[in-house]
Amino acid sequence: MERILITGALGQLGSEIAAFLRGEYGAREVVCTDIRDDPSGDRAESGPFYRFDVRDGERLAEVVRRHRIDTVYHLAALLSATAEARPTEAWDLNMGGLATVLEVARETGCAVFTPSSIGSFGPNTPKDWTPQDTLQRPTSMYGVTKVAGELLCDYYFHRFGVDTRGLRYPGLISNRTLPGGGTTDYAVDIFYEAVRHGRYTCFLKGDTYLDMMYMPDAVKAAVELMDADPGRLRHRNAFNVTAMSFCPEDLAAYIRRYIPAFEIDYHVDPVRQAIAHSWPNNMEDYAARVEWGWNPEYDLDRMTRDMLTVLSARLEDAHYVWHDAG
């Protein structure tokens, strides 16, 4: 029986993983937690929800024991742009939160899923076809915490036998919850602005290539990794996974296929541009494919069509409404 606890369950990734897992295992079996109240009521009303700081180990252990949790999806963190603006806070949360979760897992025997990121790479990492095992000297505070997190999870597996697993996610594109302060957020914002206003001002340069993934694939990757045969996992805590690589100019061109009048211009934010410049253009994800069968379903065109279909139907102020004829 799966009994799951999610930290950061109100965030961009947590809200989607929570919805999927509650559908899969039943709402009572999936405990959502976050430091905030649930503004929509989605997670708090459909199943157990607790509001507390993930660094409060006593509270976390008490909830884990009360619900006899066997797997924690640890998603509470500060993302790259916010972390760069508030580096000490990012260190405290990203490392302190993870250390707390791992200690509770060691005491209670839970498995732990922790996302790493393309942010764990740095300017000296090969930019194209970035290998699974390569140089990682990130220059952002977010990246520092992501590499340290990968290592800490490896340590808890080797030293204490905690079943830790994780993915190096690319930028995640979704339409349920807005992103929480990352460098790749433009790839979400652009769809909302395209549908509302038919134009977008991008904070990255037009030719900045980054890996990306549509949310259904991100959820699938996490769940498939946690279900994988542990005997086959050599890269437990840091699997490269990707689904597509594009730059803002490419994405604008795809949006124009469906909203021909769409326009993009650029007002570059030097902080986020520098972070993006230090990340890969595109990763290889062979280890994930071989060790647990990773295979994404959404490419750039399918993701673009789905985002535009969903948002043009859902947003009340959608002006550039596009219907999928297919």
Catalytic annotation present for 142: yes
CA distances from 157 to 72, 95, 97, 294 (A): 15, 17, 17, 22
Q: Give the ranges where the chain is alpha helix by DSSP (H).
A: 12-25, 42-46, 57-66, 80-85, 87-108, 141-160, 186-197, 215-227, 248-258, 270-277, 286-292, 300-314
Which of 50, 73, 142, 156 is the catalytic position?
142
Distance CA 198, CA 191 (A): 9
Binding of ligand AKB at residue 7 (CB under 6 A)? no
Binding of ligand NAD at residue 179 (CB under 6 A)? yes
Distance CA 295, CA 111 (A): 23
Q: How many helices and strands in the chain, by DSSP H and E?
A: 12, 16
- Of 145-174, which residues contact ligand AKB (CB under 6 A)? 170-171
Residue 49 contacts residue 43 (beta carbons within 8 Å): yes
Contact with ligand NAD (CB under 6 A) among 4, 5, 10, 255: 10
210-214/244-246 β-pairing? antiparallel
In this structure, what DSSP letter does residue 272 have?
A: H
Q: x/- binding map, residues 96-125, to ligand NAD, per CB under 6 A?
A: -x-----------------x-x--------
Binding of ligand NAD at residue 143 (CB under 6 A)? no
Contact with ligand AKB (CB under 6 A) among 10, 76, 79, 215: 79
Nearer to ligand NAD, 235 or 320 (CB): 235
Indicate which of ligand NAD, ligand AKB, none lies near residue 49 (CB less than 5 to 8 Å, by partner kind).
Answer: none
Q: Which residues bind ligand NAD (CB under 6 A)?
A: 7-8, 10-14, 34-36, 53-55, 75-77, 79, 93, 97, 115, 117, 169, 171-172, 179-180, 182, 184
In the complex, the residues that contact ligand AKB under the rule CB under 6 A are 79-80, 117-119, 142, 170-171, 182-184
